[in-house]
């Protein structure tokens, strides 16, 4: 099965700092069909990035995605207080569609 491994598990940062989240796939993600989601407690996930690097309409430009093949990165250029949440990567290039286990971005 297609496995996505996210690192680190927890990222402790201060508002205004840069966050770099990693997602590594056990095999190449077909057509770079990889998305990133943000989830806050008690809420459904919200899509931020699709196709590895395309930002969804309405998502602030401090969020950016990069990578290809098996290595992908979500970067938050300057953390806003509302950005502290759990982030998941998800591949939709191969069935079953799978999520990573998540990276929690917490306030330091």
Partner 1 sequence: EVQLVESGGGLVQPGGSLRLSCAASGFTFSNFYMSWVRQAPGNGPEWVANINQDGSGKYYVDSVKGRFTISRDNAKNSLYLQMNSLKVEDTAVYYCARWGWGWDYWGQGILVTVSS
Which residues in this chain contact partner 1 in the complex, by CB under 8 A? 35, 37, 39, 44-47, 49-51, 54, 56, 86, 88, 90, 92, 95-102
Nearest to 48 by CA among 57, 60, 56, 40: 56
Q: Which is nearer to partner 1, 41 or 81 (CB)?
A: 41
Closest contact distance (angstroms) between CB of 77 and partner 1 is 21
Question: Which residues on neighbouring strands pair with residue 37, listed in sequence order?
Answer: 47, 88
CB 101, min distance to partner 1, A: 6
**Residue 12 φ/ψ region, left for φ over 0, alpha for ψ in the -120 to 50 degree band, beta for the rest:** beta
Q: Name the minimum Å distance from CB 62 to partner 1.
A: 18
Rank residues 17 and 99 by Cβ distance to partner 1 and give the closer one.
Answer: 99
Radius of gyration in angstroms for the set of CA atoms belonging to the chain, rounded to a whole number = 13
Q: How far is the CB of 6 from partner 1 (least distance, A)?
A: 9
């Amino acid at each position: 099965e297609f496995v996505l491994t996210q690192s680190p598990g927890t990222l402790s940062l201060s508002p205004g700092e840069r966050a770099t989240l990693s997602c590594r796939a056990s095999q190449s993600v077909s057509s770079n069909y990889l998305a990133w989601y943000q989830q806050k407690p008690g809420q459904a996930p919200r899509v931020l990035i699709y196709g590895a690097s395309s930002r969804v309409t309405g998502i602030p430009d401090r969020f950016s995605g990069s990578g290809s093949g098996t290595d992908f990165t979500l970067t938050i250029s300057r953390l806003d207080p509302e950005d502290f949440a759990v982030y998941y990567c998800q591949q939709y290039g191969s069935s079953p569609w799978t999520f990573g286990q998540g990276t929690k971005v917490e306030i330091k």
